[in-house]
Structure 1
Amino acid sequence: DARKASAGSNSDGKQHPNNRVNPEIELMIARNKKMNSAASIRNGQGFTPRRGDIFIATYAKCGTTWTMQIVHQLRSGGDMSFEEITEAMPWDVLALDCGQDLDADQKFTPRAFKSHETWKDIAKGEGVKYIYVARNPQDAMLSFYKFLPQWMQVDASKITIEEFVDAIFAGASNSGQIWNHFTDWWSQRENPNVLWLFFEDLKADLRGGVLRIAQFMGIDPDEELLKRVVEMSHFNYMKEHQSKFDDHFVFDKVKKQMGLEHATHKATKVRKTGGTVGQGKKSIPPSILKRLAEKWKDVVEAQTGIASYDELKKAHKASHPNFYS
């Protein structure tokens, strides 16, 4: 179970020089394991969504909050009355711990939910729709490294990228590992109720991405709404309103069970250097890039025959030509 992590071993089966136990890593893992209760996980995976409900389903740090903002603005026509976006769009496996009822009506329709679950584990129902956003694993890993220690209130300066990757390979993420996540959702790429998107495409053409999401939701936006949603989901706008996108609602609800009862939330998602494309390749040491490439080969290529992330994007575009026209 990916939720039962230990930092003592590397699941890629290779020996790595950095095998000492870093107390900051141990603390990060311990707190992350307590972030959601078993009952809340069962509740999130087991509830029955309604026809028309939408899940924004991604691996962590692949554009989840960004896509949530797009979906919310499309369905609401420009609402920013929420205190923090997870209040308006519950996180499936954390809803119970946050005191949210997944069966309740939402202020706007369609109802929408955040998820980091695999296709195998996510809640399913007749006519339910899923938006899946993929991101280059190098960039996702770098973003995760800059985000998770801060969320877990540990000293990020004492954790190296090598130690962080070791921990993720050993199962430290509640979302499992990105490569397995990709392959599980890739199996649904032809499912008409699953919209596959790529983070890099959203960055390159936000308007086009908003239009695709709107069409998938069954919304035909006029030019005024389209312009408004593009503006409100732009990095600069979200940066100006970053407290509405920083998980503080979730943190305040679960910090006691994490042993952080008196802590103040510090993590931010809309960072000055965040949301970039290609930064992972520039910033991650070559030895780690090699391990990430090996992981792709061992998991994604072994299951799909697709040799790289760029090839995955090409394969999707080749099989969905009308989508990209």
Structure 2
Amino acid sequence: MTEKTFVDEIQKALEKSKGLNINELLFSYQGTLYPVTVCSAETFQTLENFETRKDDMVLVSYPKCGINWLILIVNDLVATTLKTKQENTELPFIECGDPEKYQRMKQFPSPRIVATHLHYNNLPKSIFKSKAKVLVLFRNPKDTAASFFRFHNNAPTIPSYNSWEEFFPKFMNGQVAWGSYFDHAVTWNKHMDNENVLVLTYEELKEDLVAGVKQIAEFFGFTATAEQIQSVADRTAFQAVQDRSQETHGVVGPLLFRKGVVGDWKSLFDATQSQKMDAKFKECLAGTKLGAKLKYDVYCKA
């Protein structure tokens, strides 16, 4: 199976969402909302027994924080340094797909890329037992919210929100797919110093991709030359990825790799919404290690 299979899977999910409204799109599992098109209670129940390997590369992020970009970077690193190509045969997120996918994943050669949007507390326990390396990608919350809204409203078949004004309070209260950005952040902040965890930000990768690729390679234990790091960074630069997105991700590609700019939130937020987000960030993350890493004052102040 090849990238075509992966694109077919995305196509199937989009087909399923045709004609649904936003409330029909989401279902609740253990108190968190997920999209019915790619997730199911049966899959979640089976996921609890997912067997992680020690050499799995676990990639975690809240939706719209750049994880699809990160998957391509790590894939390219594997291909460049180990000369093996990971075939995209499944939806990359472990919580998405049918319950049988975990049996199929047992056939995948190591190292496997295991991606997820799941909250720390909902991850399969084997991830921590196996001591697999976990790379967590964060993005500033204002751009994350703006990108999440646009994804819903630009994808042709995904149900949209009536307006940004309708979406914003739902995002702030965690009443969106995969739950609350802030709950996700607060919990990961507690685990930032774990030796098997590396936290990077989208903004860092945008600013200096070569340094980011080098850090990722070192974290996962790839032996990569400066030339290899540079070539991976060139091939996976946001613009390059955006140009190939239709090829790699089908119809949803241009939506997943839409603009990639930092600060796009300014086109949606009004002053009141901006202040609400500032207060929420302060309440949840002020004075924390993750809060400092997110450079909120640099990226989220008008």
The normalised TM-score by structure 1 is: 0.71
SS at match of 2:255: coil
Q: Aligned in 2, Cα 1:244/1:49: closer, same or farther, shift over 3 Å? A: farther
Q: Aligned in 2, Cα 1:275/1:145: closer, same or farther, shift over 3 Å? A: same
Q: For the residues of structure 1 that align with 2:210 and 2:104, how far apart are their CA atoms? A: 31
Q: For the residues of structure 2 that align with 1:185 and 1:52, how far apart are their CA atoms? A: 21
SS at match of 1:268: helix
SS at match of 1:47: coil
Q: For the residues of structure 2 that align with 1:54 and 1:280, how far apart are their CA atoms? A: 31
Shift, 1:167, TM fit: 2.7
Q: Are the counterparts in 2 of residues 132 and 195 from structure 1 also a CA contact under 8 Å?
A: yes
- Give the corresponding residue for 1:90: 92
Give me the CA root mean square deviation.
3.2
Q: Tell whether 2:27 aligns with 1:26.
A: no
Q: Are the counterparts in 1 of residues 245 and 253 from structure 2 also a CA contact under 8 Å?
A: no
- Give the corresponding residue for 2:227: 224
Shift, 1:139, TM fit: 0.5
Shift, 1:104, TM fit: 1.6
Q: Name which of 269, 280, 283 aligns with 1:295.
A: 280
SS at match of 2:122: coil
Shift, 1:297, TM fit: 3.2
Q: Aligned in 2, Cα 1:42/1:190: closer, same or farther, shift over 3 Å? A: same
Q: Are the counterparts in 2 of residues 150 and 267 from structure 1 also a CA contact under 8 Å?
A: no
- Give the corresponding residue for 2:177: 174
Q: Aligned in 2, Cα 1:89/1:216: closer, same or farther, shift over 3 Å? A: farther
Shift, 1:43, TM fit: 2.7
Written as runs of structure 1 = structure 2, the 5 A alignment for 1:24-63 is 25-29=22-26, 32-63=35-66
Q: Which amino acid aligns with 1:145?
A: F
- Give the corresponding residue for 2:151: 147
Q: For the residues of structure 2 that align with 1:165 and 1:122, how far apart are their CA atoms? A: 27
Shift, 1:154, TM fit: 4.8
Shift, 1:292, TM fit: 1.6
Shift, 1:222, TM fit: 1.7
Q: Aligned in 2, Cα 1:267/1:210: closer, same or farther, shift over 3 Å? A: closer
SS at match of 2:103: coil
Q: Name which of 51, 68, 71 aligns with 1:68.
A: 71
- Give the corresponding residue for 1:279: 264
Shift, 1:44, TM fit: 3.0
Q: Name which of 265, 270, 280 aligns with 2:257.
A: 270
Q: For the residues of structure 1 that align with 2:280 and 2:35, how far apart are their CA atoms? A: 23
More helix by share: 2
Q: Are the counterparts in 2 of residues 90 and 100 from structure 1 also a CA contact under 8 Å?
A: no
Q: Which amino acid aligns with 1:289?
A: S
Q: Are the counterparts in 2 of residues 211 and 226 from structure 1 also a CA contact under 8 Å?
A: yes
Q: Tell whether 2:213 aligns with 1:210.
A: yes
Shift, 1:212, TM fit: 0.2
* Worse-matched range after superposition: 94-103 or 119-128: 94-103
Q: For the residues of structure 1 that align with 2:42 and 2:289, how far apart are their CA atoms? A: 38
Q: Are the counterparts in 2 of residues 42 and 93 from structure 1 also a CA contact under 8 Å?
A: no
Encode CA deviations 1:104-163: one digit per residue, 9 max, x unaligned: 2325x311111011222212232211100111000011110110344482564x622111
Q: Aligned in 2, Cα 1:96/1:24: closer, same or farther, shift over 3 Å? A: closer
Q: Tell whether 2:154 aligns with 1:163.
A: no
Q: Which amino acid aligns with 1:140?
A: T
Q: Aligned in 2, Cα 1:46/1:162: closer, same or farther, shift over 3 Å? A: farther
Shift, 1:308, TM fit: 9.1
SS at match of 2:120: coil
Q: Which amino acid aligns with 2:269?
A: I
Encode CA deviations 1:227-261: one digit per residue, 9 max, x unaligned: 22112211222122112553x5xxxxxxxxxxxxx
Q: Are the counterparts in 2 of residues 134 and 198 from structure 1 also a CA contact under 8 Å?
A: yes
Q: For the residues of structure 2 that align with 1:81 and 1:51, how far apart are their CA atoms? A: 19
Shift, 1:80, TM fit: 11
Q: For the residues of structure 1 that align with 2:100 and 2:154, how far apart are their CA atoms? A: 20
Runs of at least 5 residues in structure 1 that lack an aligned partner in the other structure: 1-22, 249-263, 316-325
